[in-house]
Amino acid sequence: MTLSELEKEVPELADYTETMPAELRRLARVKVHPPGGLIHQKDSELRYLGIVAKGENRVINEFENGKIYMIETNKAIDFIGEVALLANKPEASVTIEALTANTIVYIPRKDAEKWVNSDTHILRKMAERTAFKLYRSSYNNGLKLYYPPMFLVADYLVRLYEQVFPESENISGKSKAPRPITLQKTRERLGEELGMNTKTLDRTIRSMHKDGYFSLVKGKITYGIEEYLQMKEYLSTAKG
């Protein structure tokens, strides 16, 4: 697939590539990373700037003891390697894995640097995206340090329910109740996202299940509008 073909498929991409020089467009390469695929590895040389046109990925930090800390998840349209490029660092500071199939436009780093240095439009798009991630991180900074495990699990499940059913925030009765949802992630993956070890997570899930915050169907967390409202009330009380 060429860049022009991808722009037709994803019209929003053109807002990022409209000022790309013709010679750079010829150098651009489109690659699809399958779900679970490695996009780039921490400490590896960053030879390309990427623009994610499709898909969702997760940003993780790997430590020498084998532990993984999940920093965030990001959806297209996004950049790959923009922080290292803007910071003038040669290597990637994080590992990025594809959660869904990721379609990425890759541009050689040196050519991308020339483009960014001479074009305020693409520089602003990168700055806006980087600032958005920093704002999101700053807004939630400290949550995992100062709230108990139950709060973190409930907060995660409430936000997930509101992503699946955006209208749920305004539902107060049972007449409009959407169907229940089941969390398909493994305990290990959920623990990585919450910054919680598996033993603590298992203990928290058992306690919340006993208190009626959700059901466990074949070991998977399952909950509907009533449980969502119950967890939301708990979060409100805990914050207050």
Over range 45-74, report the average pLDDT: 88
Is residue 165 a contact partner of residue 224, using CB atoms and an 8 Å limit? no
* 88 compared with 67, residue with greater pLDDT: 88
**First vs last C-alpha separation in the chain:** 53
d(C-alpha 57, C-alpha 180), whole Å: 25
Q: Is the pLDDT at 63 greater than 80, yes or no?
A: no
What is the residue whose two structure tokens read 């199939």?
101
Over range 138-156, report the average pLDDT: 84
Name the nearest CA neighbour of 78 among 33, 117, 43: 33
d(C-alpha 205, C-alpha 139), whole Å: 26
| Multiple choice CATH, 3-140, 3.30.1490.190, 1.10.10.10, 2.160.10.10, 2.60.120.10 | 2.60.120.10
User: What does the pLDDT look like over 22-58, one tens digit per residue?
Assistant: 999 999 999 999 999 999 999 999 999 999 999 999 9
Cis peptide before 77 (omega within 30 of 0): yes
Every domain range in the chain assigned CATH 2.60.120.10: 3-140
d(C-alpha 51, C-alpha 184), whole Å: 28
Over range 78-90, report the average pLDDT: 95
pLDDT category of residue 202 using cuts at 50, 70 and 90: very high
pLDDT of residue 174: 47
Every domain range in the chain assigned CATH 1.10.10.10: 143-239
CATH topology of domain 143-239: Arc Repressor Mutant, subunit A (1.10.10)
Q: Is the pLDDT at 167 greater than 90, yes or no?
A: no
d(C-alpha 86, C-alpha 225), whole Å: 44
